[in-house]
Amino acid sequence: MATASSFAAVFISSAIASCFAEVCTIPLDTAKVRLQLQKKTAAGPAATVGMLGTMMSIAREEGVSALWKGIIPGFHRQCLYGGLRVGLYEPVKALFVFVGDATLMNKILAALTTGVIAIAVANPTDLVKVRLQADGKSTAVKRHYSGALNAYATIVRQVAATIHHDNDQ
């Protein structure tokens, strides 16, 4: 059974590893988001072709750092998702084992449970990440967030206003 200190060590090491992967892959993710938006908003043929062309266009028009837009909420997501998914696995697996060693079914149930918990907690950070990535010079919708915290606050205000408006009707 996992101890509190081993949970912390596993959580932190998983979060760090996930954040490293995020730094390496976010330029591809940013280009993917822009390509998805381009296909939905363009009336004619796409202005850039493919992943590499989109990355080069972003770097040329907005600067190389624009490829890492959304990195802060990306770190938030990876810390939560990576840390919880891996860090909770052993304690949750222990909950499914009543007698003896963990069976394959116990391990599958533990993995499914930790995955569901982690994605439920981390999913709102993905919304902020994608909105920051989508907010570029050539995109149709401009939100102009000043950063991750501003994006979180703005989204919460918008959702609260929508809920309040829906309740008034």
The CATH code of the domain that includes 138 is 1.50.40.10
Whole-angstrom distance, CA of residue 80 vs CA of residue 112: 16
This prediction has a pTM of 0.78
Counting the structural domains of the chain, the total is 1
Q: For residue 77, give the amino acid letter.
A: R
Per-residue pLDDT of the chain (169 residues; tens, 9 = 90+): 445 568 889 999 999 999 999 999 999 999 999 888 876 555 555 555 789 999 999 999 999 999 999 999 999 999 999 999 999 999 999 999 887 888 999 999 999 999 999 999 999 999 999 989 988 765 555 667 888 999 999 999 988 888 877 777 7
Whole-angstrom distance, CA of residue 166 vs CA of residue 160: 10
Domain containing 74 equals 4-168
